[in-house]
């Protein structure tokens, strides 16, 4: 790996992007204190609207956003597949020289276990520099940032075509949200690039070390294993015991190591991560790119670093297993649920065939339950959008590097990538010491540092005006 070449590229991108940003900064004299106050007001109001999915109730947020936009004479249109599940689309138009850019955020949230929270989850409590509330990190921060971006672009008359989509149903019911919009209202969201959730910055001792930009994601495949056997009395063991067959199949799949494959995103990720890591870690990150060292590093990741192990291959996690109804009855059938997260280029049918070969038992049936998100190729890290993102990150966080990242989970960007739109995931600045202390997305006491909301808006603003200023 040519570390010097990587760093030179960072420097070149910084030099290219900085004049544009500087000129834009001089042109638009933003009162960031006022922006922060307005954003916090919108954010807290959005957090107080309970959009737990199910049932969603996203229409309440969509109406709030439409009214906020209307005060600046920006039209917000609502699109719903089901009652109460509205998606909002709003747009500011430029001079027509560039295709539109899509900003997405989802308005639904996951449920809460109230007894595990120290505050009311939908009261938007502000305490000790944080804002607490379900959806504060996932994903009403992005929704607020998208709202503020459109308002600012309109107020400062920036010549750029930007679409804001606040979609319903991301948390488990995409048919009412992104699927509905892509399949039925594509003309409303067709765009050159898309920015949405999925990234973020990590700070240590108040200084941002790196900014993750999600340029790829694995896609989920839901699979059931069904083992068949002969029923009988527990006192007479059978060689075709369904539970035994299922257990053996699950054990084989759990031990199986599907082929490792890197892509442009993961190669760049490990290359760049090595430049800011302690030497022992850096050796491993560089080693995963070296065919002679890959086996050793993979074994280390499998035992000690499952997060990095997961982005090397399609992963299989057994999550539910069931069978039988009495302790003295051998059942005819036993079932297991597998959570499979596939690499972007994985062919599902070929993978099912590989699973069958690993199991090697005709009495165990593989039943696919559908693909929750469509596969899509990683978005380029060699275009004007990613280069502008790097330039903006260098401006906001001079000591940090930008890490193209492949998510092990999935988001609504998958549907946009599958439709041919390069997508980039962004997110707020979080403190490293907070990451292991709870309060993250989907967690109890979900919270965001107050300053991070403004930084999120600044990231979008500088990226958009930078793009607007390029030929």
Question: What is the pLDDT at residue 432?
Answer: 85
Give, for all 471 residues of the chain, the pLDDT tens digit: 444 444 434 433 333 344 445 545 557 899 999 999 999 999 999 999 999 999 999 999 999 999 999 999 999 999 999 999 999 999 999 888 888 999 999 999 999 999 999 999 999 999 999 999 999 999 999 999 999 999 999 999 998 999 999 999 999 999 999 999 999 999 999 999 999 999 999 998 889 999 999 999 999 999 999 999 999 999 999 999 999 999 999 999 999 999 999 999 999 999 999 999 999 999 999 999 999 999 999 999 999 999 999 999 999 999 999 999 999 999 999 999 999 999 999 999 999 999 999 999 999 999 999 888 999 999 999 999 999 999 999 999 999 999 999 999 899 999 999 999 999 999 999 998 877 777 899 999 999 999 999 999 999 999 999 998 765
- Copy the structure tokens of residue 102: 């899509």
Q: Which domains does the chain have, with CATH numbers?
A: 31-198+411-469 (3.40.630.10)
Q: How high is the pLDDT of residue 20?
A: 45
Give the pLDDT confidence score for residue 411 in this predicted structure.
95
Q: Cα(396)–Cα(464) distance, rounded to whole angstroms?
A: 14
pLDDT of residue 265: 97
In the prediction, which pLDDT does 471 show?
A: 57
Compute φ and ψ for 403, nearest 5 degrees: -110, 110
Where helices occur in 203-338 by DSSP H, the ranges are 242-255, 264-274, 279-287, 294-304, 306-310
Question: Residue 350 CB: number of other CB atoms within 10 A?
Answer: 9
- How high is the pLDDT of residue 27? 77
Helix locations, 343-412, DSSP H: 348-359, 384-396
Rounded Cα gap, residues 286 and 268, in angstroms: 11
Contact (CB, 8 A) for 76 and 69 = yes
Number of Cα atoms under 13 Å in the Cβ half of residue 393: 30
pLDDT at 437: 73
pLDDT, residue 6, reads 42
- Helix runs in 48-139, H state only: 58-70
CA distance 288 to 315: 17
Pairing between β-strand 219-228 and β-strand 333-342 as defined by DSSP bridges: antiparallel
């Amino acid at each position: 790996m040519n570390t010097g070449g990587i760093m030179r590229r960072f420097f070149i991108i910084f030099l290219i992007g900085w004049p544009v940003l500087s000129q834009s900064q001089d042109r638009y004299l933003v009162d960031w204190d006022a922006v922060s106050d307005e954003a916090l007001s919108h954010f807290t109001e959005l957090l107080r609207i309970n959009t737990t999915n199910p049932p969603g109730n996203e229409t309440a947020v969509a109406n709030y956003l439409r009214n906020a936009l209307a005060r600046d004479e920006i039209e917000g249109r609502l699109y719903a597949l089901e009652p109460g599940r509205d998606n909002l689309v709003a747009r500011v138009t430029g001079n027509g020289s560039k295709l539109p850019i899509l900003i997405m955020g989802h308005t639904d949230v996951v449920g809460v276990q109230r007894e595990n929270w120290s505050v009311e989850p939908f009261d938007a409590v502000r305490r000790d520099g944080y804002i607490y509330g379900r959806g504060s990190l996932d994903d009403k921060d992005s929704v607020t940032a998208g709202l503020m971006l459109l308002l600012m672009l309109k107020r400062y008359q920036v010549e750029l075509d930007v679409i804001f989509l606040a979609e319903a149903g991301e948390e488990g019911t995409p048919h009412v949200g992104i699927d509905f919009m892509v399949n039925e209202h594509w003309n409303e969201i067709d765009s050159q690039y898309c920015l949405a959730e999925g990234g973020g910055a990590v700070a240590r001792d108040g200084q941002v070390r790196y900014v993750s930009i999600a340029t790829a994601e694995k896609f989920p495949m839901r699979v059931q294993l069904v083992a068949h056997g002969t029923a009988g009395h527990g006192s007479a063991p059978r060689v075709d015991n369904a539970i035994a067959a299922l257990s053996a199949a699950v054990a084989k799949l759990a031990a199986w190591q599907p082929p490792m494959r890197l892509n442009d995103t993961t190669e760049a990720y490990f290359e760049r991560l090595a430049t800011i890591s302690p030497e022992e870690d850096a050796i491993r990150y560089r080693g995963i790119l070296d065919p002679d060292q890959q086996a050793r590093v993979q074994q280390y990741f499998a035992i000690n670093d499952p997060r990095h192990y997961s982005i090397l291959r399609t992963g299989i996690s057994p999550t539910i297993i069931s069978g039988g109804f009495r302790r003295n009855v051998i059942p005819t059938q036993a079932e297991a649920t597998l959570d499979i997260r596939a690499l972007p280029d994985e062919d599902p049918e070929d993978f099912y065939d590989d699973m069958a070969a690993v199991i090697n038992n005709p009495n165990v049936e593989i039943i696919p339950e559908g693909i929750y998100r469509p596969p899509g190729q990683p978005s380029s890290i060699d275009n004007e959008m990613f280069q502008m993102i790097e330039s903006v990150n260098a401006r906001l966080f001079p000591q940090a590097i930008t890490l193209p990242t492949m998510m092990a989970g999935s988001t609504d960007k998958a549907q946009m990538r599958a439709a041919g739109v390069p997508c980039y995931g962004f997110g707020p600045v979080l403190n490293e010491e907070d990451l292991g202390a709870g309060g993250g997305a989907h967690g109890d006491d979900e919270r965001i540092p107050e300053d991070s909301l403004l930084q999120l808006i600044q990231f979008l603003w500088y990226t958009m005006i930078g793009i607007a200023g390029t030929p």
